[in-house]
Amino acid sequence: MPAAPIQMETDILVIGAGGAGLYAAIEAARQGEGQGEGQGEGLGEGQGAARVLLLDRSLIGRGGATVMAQMTVAAAVAPDDDWRRHLHDTLAAGRGLCDPRLAALLCREGPECILEMDRWRVGWAREGDGLRQVQAPGHDRPRCVYVDFLSTGPAVSRTLRTQAQRHKAIRRLGDVVVTDLVLQDGPEGRTVTGAVGFDMTTGAPLAIAAAATILATGGLTRLYRRNSASSNMGGDGYALALRAGAALLDMEFVQFFPIGHLAPRLVGMDPIMWDPFRYKLGGRLLNGAMEEFIDRYGAEDGGRYRATRDLATYAITREVAAGRGSPHGGAWLSFTHIPEAELRAAFGPVIDRLAGNGIDLTRDAVEVAPIAHYHMGGVRVDTDMETGVPGLLAAGEVVGGANGANRLSGNAITEALAFGRAAGRTAARRVAAGVAPRLDPAAAAAALALAGAGGPEPAAGAAPNMAALVARLQAAMSDHVGPFRTADGLARAAGALAAIRAEAGALPPGRPRPHDLARLDWFDLRQMLLVAETVVLAAAARTESRGAHQREDFPDTDPGWTLNQIVRLDGGALRLDRAPVLAEAA
């Protein structure tokens, strides 16, 4: 019994309910409410507020990276700080590739969002009259706010969700996976008029008409075997944008975090949790023979692990390749030389969570290795978060450009909040200008047919195991498109992706039914393959090393490559172009 498609309509559709999507929804809703910040009761009744539909493939505020972030958020909120200093540091970290307009937006509007979050009682750690700020690498001063202990992300998510709940104009809806955007001709040319997807709880396909659609789907680190991401971060937004005719920028720049936890198996903790303790205490990085090795790669480590992220990643990867890795293929991180009282003071309650995992830091070293963590590249937008395709906006990690070739610590959540707010504002303006939802069913028909299509039955063994294919894609990306790349490896990755594409087939397995992960895997694979192909294409073309993109066959940074790379889908094929980096905003 095929499920009938569900039809919905809204003014503003927000896809993804992390920091960017939640802020976008709130901003869009309040535009029509006269900026009201009334207390208690719901806002936006019967007034000019646009209707906002906030969708997520998981639970609202829980599905993405925002809720997982445990550390800090960068913003020039201190009286003696200035957003231009933050901008200076951001541009320097981006190694010449930042879009200076977007970086400026992040640094200029970030503080407003951080202070608004403070009024919403997010609970930033305080010091005296102000917010407590810590120093993170690459910043010229302590500029990072946080919520204790390791609670920044959950606090940000909870606060924004509570605010979103106060707006009657916002409808929140979980368990809906968006699979395609709808494109049709209109007065503005080819226009996005909504989206198609399916309801996970029943499997039923669904179409949503919207005057403006905001992609807030987060990053792509699920493309890698070892990542700090959630299972919702296969890069759906990049694929949705590409298919709708938008451009992607600098897709080769995937940030790896050097000391992601590797072993022993740690449960209930973010795998990048070691970093703050490294800042506080140092910590020795040792190879499989328990020797310090970082200084062999040109860094002065002095027994305290303080090397930069790219260098540490390089050194660990090299030691492992030379057969000097730790048992699970990484390096040892040891705090055993630090007195127990000092460990207690620095780790606080985290010591007990580690003990629950059988780790006693006074006695045991842990194994760490580079882990895919964030994506600098993404959908190309202007400072209004417009993609250039009418009706389509993007915000948050899915956007490319603000962080260039390398992201400064703490900039990602600021980016999500500031860009979400800007996108919400632009979308509300579009609706206020009179654009109404008008989805032509014919334009949605093909995507709806796919969302409801029946393919080979997985239970009968007629369909390949899609979860295994996802794992193969992750292996190919990790082995050949990790922090260090070669022409040969990238060609192998391209071959592996083509083989997986052929095996996955043209139709999702089974038919629509409740919570069918085999089907979901197929739809995920469809997006992951396209997105992985853009990363491989751009990485193969960039014959230099810069920031997060390191080519072993082109180890130097080439000033001639101070260029952005743009990927588009053109007649079904990916097309790569170069574009000059935009000049700094006046």
Partner 1 sequence: METARLLIRRGTAAEPPRHEAFEVPFEPGQSVLDALRRIRAEQDPTLAVRYACLNANACKECMMLLDGAVVYACTARLEPREMRLDPLPNKRLLRDLATVIAPPDERLE
Ligand X SMILES: Cc1cc2nc3c(=O)[nH]c(=O)nc-3n(C[C@H](O)[C@H](O)[C@H](O)COP(=O)(O)OP(=O)(O)OC[C@H]3O[C@@H](n4cnc5c(N)ncnc54)[C@H](O)[C@@H]3O)c2cc1C
Catalytic residues: 309
CB of 351 to ligand X, least distance (A): 20
In this structure, which long-range contacts are made by residues 184-188, counting pairs with CB atoms below 8 Å and at least 24 apart in sequence? 184/439, 184/440, 184/443, 186/390, 186/438, 188/390, 188/391
> Which CB sits closer to partner 1, 172 or 546?
172
CB of 229 to ligand X, least distance (A): 5
Q: Does 232 bind partner 1 (CB under 8 A)?
A: yes
Name the DSSP letter for residue 259: E
Contacts of 138 (CB under 8 A, 6+ apart): 89, 92, 93, 408, 409
DSSP-derived 3-state class of residue 146: strand
> Which CB sits closer to ligand X, 15 or 169?
15
- State the number of binding residues for ligand X (CB under 6 A): 43
> Which CB sits closer to ligand X, 218 or 489?
218
Is 125 buried (19+), middle (13-18) or exposed (0-12) by CB count in 10 A?
Answer: middle
Q: Does 11 bind ligand X (CB under 6 A)?
A: no
Indicate which single residue of 198, 374, 522, 561 sits in contact with ligand X (rule: CB under 6 A).
Answer: 374
Q: Does 230 bind partner 1 (CB under 8 A)?
A: yes
> Which CB sits closer to ligand X, 223 or 490?
223
Q: Does 328 bind partner 1 (CB under 8 A)?
A: no
Residue 536 CA to its chain's centroid (Å): 18
Segment lying near ligand X (by CB under 6 A), choices 124-132, 336-344, 407-415, 568-576:
407-415
Q: Does 514 bind partner 1 (CB under 8 A)?
A: yes
Q: Does 539 bind partner 1 (CB under 8 A)?
A: no
> Which CB sits closer to partner 1, 61 or 288?
61
Q: Does 479 bind partner 1 (CB under 8 A)?
A: no
Main-chain phi, psi angles of 262, to 5 degrees: -120, -50
Here's the x/- map for partner 1, 433-472, by CB under 8 A: it reads as -------------------------xx-----xxxx-xx-
Q: Does 372 bind ligand X (CB under 6 A)?
A: no
Q: Does 396 bind ligand X (CB under 6 A)?
A: yes
Here's the x/- map for partner 1, 260-279, by CB under 8 A: it reads as ---xxxxxxxxx--------
Indicate which single residue of 5, 32, 44, 64 sits in contact with ligand X (rule: CB under 6 A).
Answer: 64
Q: Does 236 bind partner 1 (CB under 8 A)?
A: no
Indicate which single residue of 12, 26, 43, 69 sits in contact with ligand X (rule: CB under 6 A).
Answer: 69
Of residues 384, 381, 382, the one with CA closest to residue 425: 384
Give every strand in the sheet of 205-209, ordered side by side. 6-9, 205-209, 189-199, 176-186
Per partner kind, with CB cut-offs from 5 to 8 A, the member of partner 1, ligand X, none near residue 466 is partner 1
DSSP-derived 3-state class of residue 482: coil
Q: Do residues 398 and 91 lie in contact, with contact meaning Cβ atoms separated by under 8 Å?
A: no
- Residues between 60 and 89 that touch partner 1 (CB under 8 A): 60, 62-63, 67-68, 70
Q: Does 177 bind partner 1 (CB under 8 A)?
A: no
Here's the x/- map for ligand X, 502-541, by CB under 6 A: it reads as ----------------------------------------
Of residues 14, 125, 57, 73, the one with CA closest to residue 427: 14
The token duo for 475 is 């292996």
Q: Does 200 bind ligand X (CB under 6 A)?
A: no
Give every strand in the sheet of 378-379, ordered side by side. 378-379, 248-249, 563-570, 573-580
Within 10 Å of residue 73's Cβ, how many Cβ atoms? 32
Bridge partners of 9, per DSSP, are 209
Main-chain phi, psi angles of 277, to 5 degrees: -75, -30
Say whether the peptide bond before residue 264 is cis (omega within 30 degrees of 0).
yes
Question: For the stretch 442-459, what's the b/e string if a residue is b when 16 or more beta carbons lie within 10 angstroms of its beta carbon?
Answer: ebbeebbebbbbebeebe
Per partner kind, with CB cut-offs from 5 to 8 A, the member of partner 1, ligand X, none near residue 413 is ligand X
Please work out, in degrees rounded to the nearest 5, the angle formed at the alpha carbon of residue 167 by the alpha carbons of 162 and 172: 70
Is 485 buried (19+), middle (13-18) or exposed (0-12) by CB count in 10 A?
Answer: buried
Q: List interacting residues with partner 1 (CB under 8 A).
A: 6, 58-60, 62-63, 67-68, 70, 153-154, 172-176, 199, 201-202, 230-232, 263-271, 357-358, 458-459, 465-468, 470-471, 510, 513-518, 521
Q: List interacting residues with ligand X (CB under 6 A).
A: 15-21, 55-58, 63-66, 68-73, 152, 177-178, 216-218, 228-229, 232-233, 236, 270, 272, 374, 396-398, 410-413, 416
